[in-house]
Amino acid sequence: MSSYTHVIVGLDLSSESKQIMEKAKFLAESSNAKLSVAHIIEPLLFTYGGDIPMDISSIQDQIHTQAKIDLQKIGDEFGIEQENQHISIGQPATELHELAAKEKADLIIVGSHGRHGLSLILGSTSNSVLHGSHCDVLAVRVNQG
C-alpha cells in the first residue's frame, strides 16, 4: 500500500478541531505527506434561505475574519504554513472536493460526531464528503465533552 502525499483536513473550528488535527498530523507525518487545513463557511443566505430582509454582508465578513484568525491559530499550533490554510465560502462537501482536486490531495480528513436518530437520517458533512470524493476520506470520531 502506498502512503499519502497530501492530506487536507476539513475543520469546523469547534472545540473538537484539536482532536482531529492531532490525528491528522500523526497520519501526515507517518506518510511524510503535506498537511493542509480548510474551513468552509456556509453563506448565511444558504442557512436562512434569503428570508432576512437586510444586508448581511458585513456579518458574513466578520465570520470570515474570525475564521481566518481561528484557522491561523490552528495552523500555528500544528506547524501548517499560511499557504496551506484554506478558507472558502460554499457547501462544505463540495468545497472540500474541489480543494482536494485542485491541490491534488489524496486524503481528506473530517470530524464525525457519531450522530444518531434524525441527525443520522438527514446526513452530515462527513457523510457528504465521503460520498462525493474522488480520494480517500477518513472520518475521525470526536469525543464530545
Domains of the chain: 6-141 (3.40.50.620)
107: Cβ contacts below 8 Å, ≥ 6 apart? 4, 6, 7, 8, 27, 33, 135, 136, 137, 138
For the chain, 145 residues long, give each residue's pLDDT as a single digit of tens.
578 999 999 999 999 999 999 999 999 999 999 999 999 998 876 555 555 566 677 888 899 999 999 999 999 999 999 999 999 999 999 999 999 999 999 999 999 865 544 444 445 777 888 888 999 999 998 886 5
CA distance 124 to 17: 16
Residue whose C-alpha cell reads 437586510 in the numeric block: 54
pTM of structure: 0.85
CA distance 108 to 105: 7
CA distance 5 to 112: 23
